[in-house]
């Protein structure tokens, strides 16, 4: 089944919000065997919505829309779609006339619009929205399955999960056609080129499946794709390819599916009845945030110290003032002292200390922007590693988090 995704709203086009709805919707329909062929983002303009639906309906079996269902003057989706499906589009002239009539009908007061908010035309099926006021709208005509949902992420996900995905699943299964399924295998601590060399010639084992290398700041993701007629066939093929990847690069793989690097670290700590505390400078709490994003992380993470200023490093972590004066905050000695200090303070099995020059200023010839030292304190001692990430502040901080978690996972494994 070919699926198109349309998101409506000027706020997306001008960059005021990130279009997370489209990404989530695409992942969900792909997981049930749908094939997303296009994402389209348009403004709050009636003619653009009509033109986009006209363009995509010839290529898609289903269209999923979000946005523009609210009660204010710029929420156009409901009226445009009801007009669209009440009068089947045949000629461009008819389209123009109908849009002109619709624009005239729009010239009513906000009170009148609110009074009509619960009204839905007979040409559509209302989809319940238990956590919001605007219901979803399902139109089915001439083989097209079109659903319009609110732009509020939680409301859209509720309608998708409870109503839309089950309907699409029935349709996809009824087609009895081979469809694609995907799985992501996660690695850390190895560069993309080295991982590719380790995996080797993919033509020898893919046999019609697919493999993509997707690097990010946490490591390299391996996206495996498999095509099959049934879920069992697709799952078996994904398992087969993942097994080969683990045979060839298993020491760098920390999981697949929905796992995160932080959750992999947490699982390894729990297996050993071990705990972790962190001391952060340049990352400003991002490491602790990644850890506490893991449900149940309180079982292995009691807390940490945000030691941005040198005096906090001294007072809270016991970093020696003379060491700071001699080698500076961004150094091996200070990273090790931070890791040791936070481990001692919280009485944990492991301690991590991060200190660096995130940028854009503060760099020197000896310590340019992107220089980061990460210390790791273990029951066997303390060591630190120097990293040279680059000039982008956000990327430096994110890569520091990934490197710190990767260091600990390597020790645990």
> Quick check: 212 and 246 in contact, CB under 8 A?
no
At residue 108, does pLDDT exceed 70? no
Is residue 104 very low, low, confident or very high in pLDDT (cuts 50, 70, 90)? low
H or E element that contains 97: helix 92-105
Relative orientation angle of helices 77-86 and 46-57, to the nearest 10 degrees: 50
Phi and psi at 383, nearest 5°, equal: -140, 165
Edge-to-edge order in the sheet of strand 210-216:
210-216, 219-228, 179-187, 253-256
Q: How far is CA 197 from the centre of its chain?
A: 28
At residue 384, does pLDDT exceed 70? yes
According to CATH, the topology of domain 261-412 is Maf protein (3.90.950)
At residue 209, does pLDDT exceed 50? yes
Edge-to-edge order in the sheet of strand 381-388:
303-306, 276-280, 350-356, 371-378, 381-388
Residue whose entry in the numeric block shows the structure tokens 């409301």: 155
Residue whose entry in the numeric block shows the structure tokens 């619960």: 118
What is the average pLDDT across 206-216?
95
> Quick check: 338 and 313 in contact, CB under 8 A?
yes
Query: Is 7 strand, coil or helix?
Result: strand
At residue 122, does pLDDT exceed 80? no
Q: How far apart are CA 23 and CA 388, in angstroms?
A: 32
Is residue 71 very low, low, confident or very high in pLDDT (cuts 50, 70, 90)? low
Is residue 143 very low, low, confident or very high in pLDDT (cuts 50, 70, 90)? confident
pLDDT digits (tens, 9 = 90+) for 303-359: 999 999 999 999 999 999 999 999 999 999 999 999 999 999 999 999 999 999 999
At residue 275, does pLDDT exceed 70? yes
According to CATH, the topology of domain 2-175 is Molybdenum Cofactor Biosythetic Enzyme; Chain A (3.40.980)
Q: Which pLDDT belongs to residue 121? A: 47
**Kind of pairing between the strands at 350-356 and 276-280:** parallel
| Tokens standing for residue 216 | 């990010």
Q: How far apart are CA 59 and CA 37, in angstroms?
A: 8
**Could you tell me where the beta strands, DSSP code E, fall in 165-281?**
179-187, 210-216, 219-228, 253-256, 276-280
pLDDT digits (tens, 9 = 90+) for 4-43: 999 999 999 999 999 999 999 999 999 999 999 999 999 9
Q: Which pLDDT belongs to residue 218? A: 86
* 135 DSSP assignment: P
Q: Which pLDDT belongs to residue 12? A: 92
Task: Characterise 15 by phi-psi region: left (phi > 0), alpha (psi -120 to 50), beta (else).
Answer: left
Mean pLDDT of the chain: 90
Is residue 116 very low, low, confident or very high in pLDDT (cuts 50, 70, 90)? very low
According to CATH, the topology of domain 179-256 is Alpha-Beta Plaits (3.30.70)
What is the average pLDDT across 166-179?
92
Domain ranges, ordered by start, for the chain:
2-175, 179-256, 261-412
* 89 DSSP assignment: -
Q: Which pLDDT belongs to residue 279? A: 98
Q: Which pLDDT belongs to residue 70? A: 60
Q: Which residues pair with 144 in a beta bridge?
A: 141
> Quick check: 341 and 319 in contact, CB under 8 A?
yes
Percent of the chain with pLDDT over 90: 79
Residue whose entry in the numeric block shows the structure tokens 């694609």: 180
Q: How far apart are CA 404 and CA 387, in angstroms?
A: 11
Is residue 154 very low, low, confident or very high in pLDDT (cuts 50, 70, 90)? very high
> Quick check: 168 and 1 in contact, CB under 8 A?
yes
User: 385 CB contacts (<8 Å, ≥6 apart)?
Assistant: 373, 374, 376, 403, 407
Q: How far apart are CA 245 and CA 250, in angstroms?
A: 7
* 161 DSSP assignment: I
């Amino acid at each position: 089944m070919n699926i198109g995704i349309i998101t409506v709203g000027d706020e997306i086009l001008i960059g005021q919000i990130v279009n997370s709805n489209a990404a989530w919707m695409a992942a969900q329909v792909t997981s049930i065997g749908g094939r997303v062929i296009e994402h389209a983002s348009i403004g709050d303009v009636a003619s653009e919505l009509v033109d986009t639906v006209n363009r995509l309906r010839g290529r898609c079996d289903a269209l999923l829309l979000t946005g523009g269902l609210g009660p204010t003057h710029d929420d156009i989706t409901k009226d445009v779609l009801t007009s669209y499906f009440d009068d089947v589009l045949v000629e461009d002239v008819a389209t123009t006339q109908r849009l002109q009539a619709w624009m005239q009908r729009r010239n009513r007061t906000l009170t009148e619009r609110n009074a009509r908010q619960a009204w839905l035309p007979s040409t559509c099926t209302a989809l319940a929205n238990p956590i919001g006021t605007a219901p979803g709208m399902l139109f089915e005509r001439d083989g097209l399955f079109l659903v319009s949902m609110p732009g509020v992420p939680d409301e859209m996900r509720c309608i998708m999960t409870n109503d839309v995905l089950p309907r699409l699943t029935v349709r996809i299964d009824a087609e009895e056609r081979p469809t694609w399924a995907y799985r992501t295998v996660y690695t850390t601590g190895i560069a993309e080129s080295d991982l590719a060399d380790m995996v080797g010639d993919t033509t020898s084992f893919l046999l019609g499946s697919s493999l993509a290398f997707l690097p990010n700041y946490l490591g390299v993701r391996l996206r495996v794709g498999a095509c099959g007629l049934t879920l069992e066939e697709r799952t078996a093929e994904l398992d087969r390819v993942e097994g080969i990847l683990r045979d060839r690069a298993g020491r760098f793989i920390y999981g697949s599916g929905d796992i995160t690097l932080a959750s992999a670290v947490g699982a390894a700590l729990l297996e050993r009845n071990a705990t972790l505390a962190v001391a952060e400078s340049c990352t400003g709490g991002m490491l602790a945030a990644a850890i506490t994003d893991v449900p149940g992380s309180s079982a292995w993470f009691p807390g940490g110290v945000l030691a941005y200023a040198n005096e906090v490093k001294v007072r809270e972590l016991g970093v020696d003032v003379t060491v700071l004066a001699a080698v500076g905050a961004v150094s091996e000695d200070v990273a090790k002292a931070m890791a040791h200090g936070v481990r001692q303070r919280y009485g944990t099995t492991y301690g991590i200390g991060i200190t660096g020059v995130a940028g854009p200023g503060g760099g020197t010839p000896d310590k340019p922007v992107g220089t980061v030292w990460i210390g790791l304190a273990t029951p066997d001692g303390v060591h630190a590693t120097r990293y040279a990430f680059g000039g982008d502040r956000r990327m430096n901080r994110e890569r520091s988090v990934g490197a710190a978690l990767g260091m600990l996972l390597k020790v645990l494994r």
